[in-house]
Homo-oligomer: A and B are copies of this chain.
Amino acid sequence: MKILILGAAGYLGQATVAYLRERGHEVTGVDSNVKDQWMTECAVEPLIRPDGPAYERRKRRKAQAVWHSTYAEVDAVVHYAEQASAPYSMRGAFEAFDTVNNNTQTTLDMILKVREANSDCHIVKLGTMGVYGTPGIPIREGWYDYPGGNMKKGERVRLPFPKQPGSLYHCTKAMDSDMLEFAARVWDLRVTDLHQGVVYGNQTDEMEETTFYYDHIFGTCLNRFITQAVTGMPLTVYGRGGQTRGWLNIRDTLRCVELALESPPDHGTYRVLNQFTETFSVLELAQRVADVSGATIEHIDNPRRESEDHYYHASNEGFRQLGLEPHVLTDDVLAQMIETVTRYRDRIDPACIMPAVKW
């Protein structure tokens, strides 16, 4: 398969390029490297940053500078090229605009070029489980069946599942989904929207080490806990820690993207797949890391406005049906992550871990 990867220099982009090339696909990766600017603005950098597989550098603001001719040649495009940090989007007006502009423009550009150059091209877009928020109803996959208005009793109308994004970043993902659903419905494009959970893991079959962020802007809570454990700090849980989310190993991200690529939807279909394998609360994750490392846990004021104790039940039926065999979060996986981070211990800046962005 010929595949275009947008955002090929990132944590998931690098691993995806390597994974798909290893399996014989012809992969073109592009990246604007704009994340370097975002990190500079926030004065943070990843603990680990492998060179990764080769990709083409495109200028900032020309992330849209992927040509029609490139789209014309590929079977699918996988779109990772977004500002994906909730705290970054909430840091100030500049970052809010930057996030909204980057994400909506990159997605719109992709949609328009696929439509104009190659409407057979399968769009595989990375979304987020975060668009659903914590709705208090069972989370289905992108759609919901409503009682119809003029239909016989018991008949249903399928409409988009309600969205309640929890940050401006998450709002942009909702916007992307609206445009993608529109593009499939009105322009007959083939779209898979992967509403992904939080990804962990810093090793794949193809990459000995993947990019690792541990700071309060770009690092996940699990990465922060592991880094705190390595430095002997207490694990800082935001609020009561009851915030429950879907999680998955980066190896499952790669397999999910592959499964999506292998099963393109029909023209005119907007398919949503919830891409996670397990759910954990923040406190559960802290306890797991504490158990493996011996670290202590400390609750701090939650810098975010979010529910800390809520119903959470989400479906990932689509990928189960496609044959995904999940890698679960074992103590061995946690121990391996701790071991890797320990090798970079001298580079850790503890000042980057505590939250400085509030909303």
Contacts and interface: CB of A to CB of B under 8 A. Distances in A.
B105 A101 contact: yes
Nearest to A155: B136
Contacts of A160: 162-164
Interface stretch (A37-45, A175-183, A223-231): A175-183
Interface stretch (A8-16, A166-174, A275-283, A339-347): A166-174
Size category of the binding interface on chain A? 35 or more
A37 to B, nearest CB: 19
A45 to B, nearest CB: 28
Contact of A359 (B147, B157, B162, B187): B187
A112 interface: yes
19 contacts: A93-B116, A96-B112, A97-B105, A100-B104, A100-B105, A104-B175, A136-B149, A136-B150, A136-B157, A136-B159, A137-B159, A149-B313, A159-B162, A166-B182, A168-B179, A171-B182, A174-B178, A175-B175, A186-B359
Given A96-B108, A104-B104, A137-B148, 15 more contacts: A100-B104, A100-B105, A101-B101, A108-B168, A135-B146, A137-B159, A144-B146, A160-B163, A161-B162, A164-B181, A164-B185, A165-B182, A185-B305, A186-B305, A186-B359
